[in-house]
């Protein structure tokens, strides 16, 4: 019988539920098939690989395991053929196999997941568990930071999205190289160099505005480069105020290409950690202060916060990262329905640990509840 698979892009909430479901499945034997196809991959190549795996599976000694593995592979192959020649924009993850926990009983199931962001891993595995770690990584809270490295000849704009570095744009300047000149020629050369540098700074400021001005989840911008150049860029005052206020650090880096961006991230680890801890402490201090002085404008505990969300009374929802993913997903979904800001709190600070012990679920309210 043909599988009826609805292949569609999944939201973060849907992915969270599926990952939790798949993580809890254990095969009785090594017969659960995981196929991860990254964005842009050639589907026919993956299909050919699965056909080859079917031939290998025919050598499995146990007739039951052999039958289940071959059927799981056939279902995965049929699902890929349904896609035609085009891999979904973000890739696809297929999980297929007999999930029955009773020996001798068959319950063949298949899942086809189009994740909410690009899948970068290609994988085939036949195991007693489904391989969901690449999907789990997509559910981890991610901080987004703008990256910018600049020196006389070039500059590069990048993005730190969670643990991934993305290069957004590379710019080259028209600033002349250093030459020896004297008298009037030296003064004229200095004017030309200064003019070219200012023009380059304007181009860089415009690039940063284009990439980062409307980026809602941007936590901050880190700038790197040789000491005179990066400092001069900021001093020129060409960067719009909203972005200048987002600059959280200036770091000495010797390169302004893709390698320079990678060096900037490496050199910024302590800065980023301190930024997150500081923000978290301020957030918790505000919540606990309101809890003591304006208790009617706060709520905590699952029942109280859900009630406040249902009444559209929540301004900011606070959730401990230590909560189970199902609870986080459920509350975030309720928050989205009334455009509530959601803040996830770690237990890396004393305040975060205290918040978790207070249920790990809190809210700052828009108005007091009776």
CATH number (domain holding residue 348): 3.30.1330.30
Q: Is 280 found in the same domain as 352?
A: yes
Is there a domain that residue 129 lies in? Answer: yes
Domain count, the chain: 3
Looking at 213, 235, 267, the residue that finishes a domain is 267
pLDDT of residue 370: 66
Same domain, 313 and 194: no
Same domain, 161 and 250: yes
Q: Give all strands (DSSP E) within the chain, no chain letters.
A: 32-37, 92-98, 108-113, 123-127, 144-150, 154-161, 164-172, 218-225, 247-252, 298-300, 314-320, 341-345, 361-365
Contacts of 329 (CB under 8 A, 6+ apart): 12, 13, 16, 17
Handedness of CA 212, 214, 217, 218 (dihedral sign): positive
Burial 69-88 (b: 16+ CB within 10 A, else e): bbbbbbbbbebbeebeeebb
State the Cα–Cα distance between residues 232 and 235, nearest whole angstrom. Answer: 5
**Residue 257 included in any domain:** yes
- The reply to whether 181 and 251 lie within a common domain is yes
Instruction: State the pLDDT confidence band at 184, using cuts at 50, 70 and 90.
Output: low
Kindly state whether residues 132 and 156 are assigned to the same domain.
Answer: no
In a shared domain, residues 246 and 302: no
Instruction: Answer yes or no: is 328 within a domain.
Output: yes
Q: Above 70 in pLDDT, residue 3?
A: no
What is the pLDDT at residue 260?
Answer: 96
Q: What is the CATH number of the domain that holds 78?
A: 3.30.960.10
Summarize pLDDT for 103-151 with one digit per residue, the tens: 778 899 999 999 998 898 899 999 999 999 999 888 876 678 999 999 9
- Position 2 scores a pLDDT of 44
- Give the pLDDT score at 1: 41
Token pair 């050369």 is found at: 189
149 in the same domain as 183 = yes
Domain that holds residue 215: 144-267
Q: Does the structure show a pLDDT above 90 at 52?
A: yes
CA angle 173, 178, 182 (to 5 degrees): 135
pLDDT at residue 4, as a whole number: 53
Give yes or no: residues 241 and 148 share one domain.
Answer: yes
**Within-domain flag for 311:** yes
Domain boundary residue, one of 119, 139, 159: 139
What rounded mean pLDDT belongs to the chain? Answer: 89
Together in a domain, 255 and 293:
no
Domain of 225, CATH number, reads 3.30.420.60
């Amino acid at each position: 019988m043909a599988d009826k698979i609805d292949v569609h892009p999944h939201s973060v909430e849907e992915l969270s539920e599926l990952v939790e479901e798949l993580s809890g499945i254990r095969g009785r034997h090594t017969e659960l098939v995981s196929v991860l196809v990254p964005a842009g991959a050639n589907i026919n190549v993956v299909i050919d690989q699965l056909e080859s795996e079917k031939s290998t599976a025919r050598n499995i000694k146990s007739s039951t395991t052999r039958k289940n593995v071959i059927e799981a592979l056939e279902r995965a192959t049929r699902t890929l053929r349904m896609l035609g020649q085009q891999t979904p924009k973000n890739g696809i993850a297929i999980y297929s196999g007999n999930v029955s926990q009773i020996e001798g009983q068959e319950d063949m199931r298949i899942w086809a997941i189009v994740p909410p962001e690009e899948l970068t891993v290609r994988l085939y595995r036949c195991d007693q568990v489904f391989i969901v770690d690449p999907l789990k990584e997509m559910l981890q809270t991610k901080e987004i930071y703008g990256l910018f490295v600049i020196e006389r000849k070039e500059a590069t704009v990048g993005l730190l999205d969670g643990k991934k570095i993305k290069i957004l744009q590379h710019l080259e300047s028209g600033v002349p190289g250093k030459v020896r000149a004297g008298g009037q020629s030296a003064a004229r050369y200095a004017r030309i160099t200064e003019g070219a540098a200012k023009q380059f700074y304007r181009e860089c400021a415009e690039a940063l505005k284009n990439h980062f001005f409307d980026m809602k989840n941007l936590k901050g911008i880190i700038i790197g480069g040789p000491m005179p150049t990066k400092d001069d860029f900021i001093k020129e005052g060409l960067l719009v105020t909203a972005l200048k206020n987002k600059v959280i650090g200036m770091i000495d880096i010797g390169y302004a290409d893709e390698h320079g961006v990678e060096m900037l991230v490496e050199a910024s680890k302590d800065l980023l950690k301190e930024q997150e801890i500081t923000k978290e402490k301020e957030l918790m201090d505000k919540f606990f202060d309101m809890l003591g002085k304006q208790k009617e404008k706060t709520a905590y505990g699952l029942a109280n916060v859900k009630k406040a969300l249902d009444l559209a009374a929540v301004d900011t929802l606070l959730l401990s990262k230590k909560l189970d993913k199902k609870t986080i997903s459920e509350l975030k979904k309720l928050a989205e329905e009334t455009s509530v800001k959601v803040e996830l709190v770690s237990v890396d600070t004393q305040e975060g640990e205290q918040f978790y012990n207070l249920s790990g679920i809190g809210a700052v309210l828009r108005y007091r509840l009776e």
